[in-house]
Structure formats: structure tokens, C-alpha cells
Chain A
């Protein structure tokens, strides 16, 4: 089964840029989706298919994917961005989704 790996935590100061990675073997050949989950709430998709942003998601959220690493970039980080972020990919060999272990973003 395909495995994706995220760092457990990332810290960033307000106004700076946060980068959260999702690693996997040739993940650049797959589409990666990112969800934000605040405490006590359901996940909300912030980026899908590598770099598409659903309506209502600020332009500060962007995504990229190449080689063995996909990256969620949050520019001009705000306190309200503090949350857990999960990457998701489609394991086409087994026809099912795979989630990363999640990354806790802390805004200092």
C-alpha cells in the first residue's frame, strides 16, 4: 500500500510563510489534496488536485507537487491558520485513498 509521510509539527511566526510537506515515492505522479482541521471540527479541503483552491479558501493557501514531495504553502500566516493539516493521495494500485499522519501547524 502507498505510504505518505508528514512532519508531525511545523511552527511559524505570524505574517511569515509556512510550508508543510507530504512525502511519498514519486508522489509527483499523483494528485495530492490538503485538508485543514481545527480542534473539534471536521476537516475542510483547502487544496485539491495539487493546486486547485475550493471557493472560499484564501489565496494565501497554495500547493505544489514534484518528485517525492508535495508542499502546502500558507503565505502571510494568521493565528486562525493554526490547525492540523492532512495530505491525501489516491493509491491507484489499490484503488483507495491514503492519508498522511497529519501536521500540527503552530502559529508562534
Chain B
């Protein structure tokens, strides 16, 4: 059974850097094909994909946010860490991590964490 849980600050100030951690169980980065993604959702708005990290340490980022995002994994701790620099009020959102499953050259998020709400305000 795959589970994921996000953790991090609930409030950050404008211009600060946000660091979120996703702690997971039920799969391992030692298995070929595994991946973890980050997705956010501003209040009342749609889902927006941010980043993906794969078992082989490959990474991909949303083109619109690429310059502000970094994703890393700690396989020994079953954790993935997302950092986002220069936070602003528009970055206020619930941030989710999710398990990414491959099949036939494509991928799907098949299990999501509960999400963590981050507010950007001075």
C-alpha cells in the first residue's frame, strides 16, 4: 500500500524560500520506473504540476517555474524534497506530492498525499 505525506511550513514571507518534504512508503526508488511528483492547487483553482523526480535521479520541472524549483530525493529516508525560491502571494496554495507510475512510455499519478497548505504573507 502506497502512502505519501507532505510536511513543511504553513506560512512563509514574501521573497523567502519554501522547503517541503514528501515522506513515502510502499515503494522504493531502488525499483526502476518509480517517480514522485509535486503538484499545487491555489484556493478555488485547478491543479498545477510543478516537478517530477525519477528513480534514476532524472528530474523535470514546469517550464513556467523551472528557474525557481529544485527537487531532490533521499532514497535512504524515502523522502523527496521540493524547494521553491522567491515566494510570493500568488504561490499561496495546497502543495501535494504524488506517486508517479509508468506504463507503455507514459506516466500517471496513482496515489496522492493529503497535501499541505502554504500561505505566503508578511
Contacts and interface: CB of A to CB of B under 8 A. Distances in A.
Range of interface residues on chain B? 20 to 34
B47 interface: yes
A43 B112 contact: yes
B46 A86 contact: yes
Interface stretch (A12-20, A59-67, A72-80, A94-102): A94-102
Interface of B: 37, 39, 46-49, 52, 60, 62-63, 96, 100-101, 103-115
A45 B60 contact: no
Given A49-B108, A88-B108, A97-B49, A42 B63 contact: no
Interface residues of A, number: 25
Contacts of A96: 49, 52, 60, 62
A34 to B, nearest CB: 10
